[in-house]
Amino acid sequence: MSPRDQRRQPDRFIDLARMAAFDTLRDVHASGAYANLALAEQQRAHDLTSQEAALCTELVNGTCRWEGTYDRIIEAAGGRALGTLQPAIVDVLRLGTHQLMAMRTPTHAAVSTSVDLAGIALGERTTGVVNAIIRKVAARSFDEWLDELTAGMGERGALALRTGHPRWIVDAWAAVLPEDELEAALQADNVPPVPTLVVRPGLAERDELLGESASPTPYSPFGVIREGNPSELAAVRQRRAGVQDEGSQLVALALTRVEDHSPTQQQKRWLDLCAGPGGKAALLTGLAQQDGATLLANEAHQHRADLVRKALMAYPVNQWQVVVGDGTKPQWQPGSFNRVMADVPCSGLGSLRRRPESRWRRTPDEVHELHQLQRDLLESAIESTAPGGVIAYVTCSPHRAETSAVVTAVADDRVEILDAPAHLPEVPEPRALTDERFVQLWPHRHGTDAMFLALLRRR
């Protein structure tokens, strides 16, 4: 029986897009799957058309993005804690709530499809509670629910609920942003980005990626913003270009712009300390070639190292090398490299617009647990750099504990902290509020992920 036959029961029908969206949410919540990977898998499994896939994507991403706020609405409407309901029933209610609160789905359709989904996916016994709660959700608009739920709540708590963020993230952003930008930054996390592509220097020119649905990135000379499926382009299929956020392109570019004061060597060597999945490594390989250097890409995990190799395959093999190893315990001699990229593992809080489920999955404890690893990797990056050479410390997170707190804790008389914004003069307002020597990009300011950059020179 094909997937298209598995959507009917007597007196009940559910379309494939909603069934695939429900199955994706179950993968996310029951199995800890990443929403983007689970979504792609379920769309293939259900053999969705492009129109069905678009609806499924909006259902999944929108529901995940606003999950915390929707959960409060569902609890208020049902008069009971979510923990008293089966987790699968909660996911049905979340999907229905998103249709009612944020989509143009008519009320009767949102209610009936929620009940039918419950009946087909979970059994008739679940339809009564789903019907009762979703009808009460439908009795008020999103703004009316927010007004009711935020009544008497403090300003920060209300802002968290109205922008679909946990309170701790709101507080963390408030510590690194001017007060008048806080809400705009949070709202920008709820705007899905258009795919951004990057050409591999020496392999492709940006004009090759431009067309009716594409435009150059405003700051990076290598990037293109383009609607549609990137794999439709020959340059992407041939790995002469790839998908990479403009912020990620910019931090790599900044590292290459700093003057290298290390002693002249017969062969310049650059290092990407935490290279997976390979986007920055590919860009750096092309730029290293232009500087007469080669790149060593180190990655701690074999499967991610394989991704790095795939990203670099279009370049001649004598220009790069991939090794698998713990970046805190280098396989190379100290002082071996002219330039070092330390794009360290982090919470990924700077890419919430791309990973809608992660804001509810991450915790403050996880952020602080990463702090020591980030310090250790920066220590390793410094020790790996030749005197006069340059280190870029990068995270896709604006959280103070992962950014300025790491750099200031590690930086000592071995290094000089450089003026990183000066090396990205085309980018407006790049200076971090925590320290003007650092770059902090933001979706609401720059249209990029919230990338952090510090540049250091080994004395």
pLDDT at 2: 45
Which CA distances in Å does 259 have to 254, 291, 383, 455?
10, 11, 19, 11
Element (H, E) at 343: strand 337-343
User: CB of 77 within 8 A of CB of 108?
Assistant: no
How far is C-alpha 13 from the chain's CA centre? Answer: 35
pLDDT at 263: 84
User: CB of 383 within 8 A of CB of 334?
Assistant: yes
Across residues 117-144, what is the average pLDDT?
97
How many Å apart are CA 406 and CA 16, to the nearest integer?
Answer: 47
pLDDT at 8: 56
Q: What's the mean per-residue pLDDT of the chain?
A: 95
User: CB of 246 within 8 A of CB of 224?
Assistant: no
How many Å apart are CA 436 and CA 425, to the nearest integer?
Answer: 14
396 catalytic per annotation? yes
Query: 454 pairs with which residues across the strands?
Result: 393
- For 331-348, how does the pLDDT look when each residue is reduced to its tens digit (9 = 90+)? 999 999 999 999 999 999
Query: 343 pairs with which residues across the strands?
Result: 394
How many Å apart are CA 235 and CA 36, to the nearest integer?
Answer: 23
List of domains in the chain = 3-143 (1.10.940.10), 152-188 (no CATH), 196-243 (no CATH), 246-458 (3.40.50.150)
How many Å apart are CA 317 and CA 372, to the nearest integer?
Answer: 35
Model confidence at 190: pLDDT above 80? yes
How many Å apart are CA 451 and CA 383, to the nearest integer?
Answer: 24
User: CB of 329 within 8 A of CB of 302?
Assistant: no
- DSSP-derived secondary structure for 168-206: HHHHHHHTTS-GGGHHHHHHHTTSPPPPEEEE-TTT--G
| CA angle, 379 then 403 then 360, to 5° | 120
Among 56, 274, 346, 396, the one annotated catalytic: 396
Model confidence at 357: pLDDT above 90? yes
Q: 323: helix, coil or strand?
A: strand
Model confidence at 7: pLDDT above 60? no
Name the percent of the chain lying above pLDDT 90: 94
Model confidence at 5: pLDDT above 70? no
Residue 228 — pLDDT band, cuts 50, 70, 90?
A: confident
Alpha-helical regions (H) of 291-396: 302-312, 358-361, 364-384
pLDDT at 265: 65
Model confidence at 67: pLDDT above 80? yes
Across residues 232-261, what is the average pLDDT?
96
How many Å apart are CA 6 and CA 14, to the nearest integer?
Answer: 9
How many Å apart are CA 129 and CA 56, to the nearest integer?
Answer: 24
Instruction: Fill in the DSSP letter of residue 431.
Output: B
Model confidence at 91: pLDDT above 60? yes
How many Å apart are CA 70 and CA 170, to the nearest integer?
Answer: 17
Pairing assessment for the beta strands 12-13 and 8-9 based on DSSP bridges? antiparallel
Instruction: Fill in the DSSP letter of residue 384.
Output: H
Query: 431 pairs with which residues across the strands?
Result: 439
Nearest alpha-carbon partner for 382 in 438, 337, 435: 337
- For 193-213, how does the pLDDT look when each residue is reduced to its tens digit (9 = 90+)? 999 999 999 999 999 999 878
User: CB of 359 within 8 A of CB of 169?
Assistant: yes
Q: With b meaning 16 or more CB within 10 Å and e meaning fewer, what string describes 96-129?
A: bbbbbbbeebeeeebbbbbbbbbbbbbeeebbeb
Q: State in Å, rounded, how far the first CA of the chain is from the last one.
A: 68
Model confidence at 6: pLDDT above 60? no
How many Å apart are CA 443 and CA 86, to the nearest integer?
Answer: 36
| CA angle, 399 then 249 then 169, to 5° | 20
Cβ neighbours around 444 below 10 Å, total? 17
User: CB of 197 within 8 A of CB of 236?
Assistant: yes
Model confidence at 454: pLDDT above 70? yes
User: CB of 48 within 8 A of CB of 56?
Assistant: yes
Element (H, E) at 456: strand 452-458
